[in-house]
Structure formats: C-alpha cells, structure tokens
Amino acid sequence: MNLLRNKKGLSVVVTTLIILVVSVLLATVVTFYAINVTTTRVQEESLHLTKQHVWFNTTGSWAQAVIVIVNTGGKDVVFDKISVRGQDCAWETVYYWRTSNVTISDDLEVTSTDITGTSVGITVQNATRTFQQAADDLTLKSGWSIVIYVMNPDSIALNDVGLTVGITVFTSNAQYYKATNVEAAQ
C-alpha cells in the first residue's frame, strides 16, 4: 500500500527521452543487420576491361579489334553483345579464348592475316592459343579471363586511323566501355 502512495518516479520528459533513444538504437541495429545480410549474400558483377586495340590493316583493307576482359566479381556473367564504335558486332566475327590459369600481362598484337574459320591459333603470352568462333552469347566464370578478337568491326575504315573509338561489352546488368585509338597495321 505504501508503494502506491510514493510520489517519486521518472518525469514525463525523461521517460519520453528513454523511449526515443531505445527506438533509435533499435532501428539502427536493424538497419545495420539488414545491410550486412544483403551485402554479404548478394554477389556483385564486376568486369575489368584492358588491353583494348582497334587496328586497320592498310595493305589488306581489313580491321580488327581486341580486348581482354577479367571477371573480378563474385558471379558468372553472360555477354549479350559487343559493339565497336556503337555498331553491334555479329557473333560470327567474334573469336574468343577463355582461361582461368593464365594471367594476360603482355600486350596483344594484331594478327598477320584476316581471321577466318571456326577456330584459329593466335599468340597470347608467348604461346599459341586456340580461339573459337562465337555462335551465340558468351559466358565468363567468376575469376576467369577472356580474350576477344573481332574481325572487321563495322564502320572502321582507313580514314579512322588515329581517331578514338569505343569498345562496349553488354551484359544483362551493365555496359562496360573502353576507348582506344584506331591504329594502322601493315
């Protein structure tokens, strides 16, 4: 009976402050937990494009583009299309070589002849590698690298030597763009 008549207690202001602080702390903990769960469980797509070149062979009147793509993300990707200077490249003109155990540190070279056929040998990292002709969308596993040669990309001509053009790789989630100058090749 004595407890009910006790006039000592927390004021309304202090009680409100305690409730607000507890609510904010609880909301902060829930937010950080949600961010942690989503960032650790969602694998990101990340591609690194390098060693890009576009050549025009002045004696043979053909062009060639090349690029190295490294999948540095946590998930496999599918290349929907590749374009040079904004023009889509037909898959029949795309030749590729994939690797998981060769680091491509040397620069890539133009081939001495026009690339034709379903498979062709091209020297990469001081060894002849077998490049396959693409028939459809290309895949690249996480941690793997791919070297892509494009034969006769649209709209590359003799007058383009010295101009800057872009190589764009499209996936279902993003576009990856690299610019390079058109070089003369004999």
DSSP state for residue 128 in the 8-state scheme: E
* Domain presence at residue 113: yes
Q: What is the pLDDT of residues 75-90, one digit of tens each?
A: 999 999 999 999 999 9
The structural domain count of the chain equals 1
Of 8-12, 67-71, 98-102, 142-146, the range with the lowest mean pLDDT is 8-12
The predicted model scores a pTM of 0.76
* Domain presence at residue 16: no
Give the three-class secondary structure for 36.
Answer: helix
* Domain presence at residue 106: yes
Kindly indicate the confidence band of residue 127, based on its pLDDT and cuts at 50, 70 and 90. very high
| Whole-angstrom distance, CA of residue 180 vs CA of residue 166 | 6
Kindly indicate the confidence band of residue 40, based on its pLDDT and cuts at 50, 70 and 90. low
Q: Which domain holds residue 76?
A: 47-185
* Domain presence at residue 14: no
* Domain presence at residue 83: yes
Query: Regarding predicted confidence, which is higher, 143 or 37?
Result: 143
* Domain presence at residue 5: no
Instruction: Decide if 131 contacts 145 (C-beta within 8 A).
Output: no
- Selection from 93, 92, 82 nearest residue 170 by Cα: 82
| Whole-angstrom distance, CA of residue 103 vs CA of residue 80 | 24
* Domain presence at residue 9: no
Q: What is the pLDDT of residues 131-162, one digit of tens each?
A: 999 999 999 999 999 999 999 998 888 899 99
Instruction: Decide if 54 contacts 167 (C-beta within 8 A).
Output: yes
Task: Specify the CATH number for the domain of residue 95.
Answer: 2.60.40.1890
Instruction: Decide if 53 contacts 73 (C-beta within 8 A).
Output: no
- State yes or no: pLDDT of 1 exceeds 70: no
* Domain presence at residue 157: yes
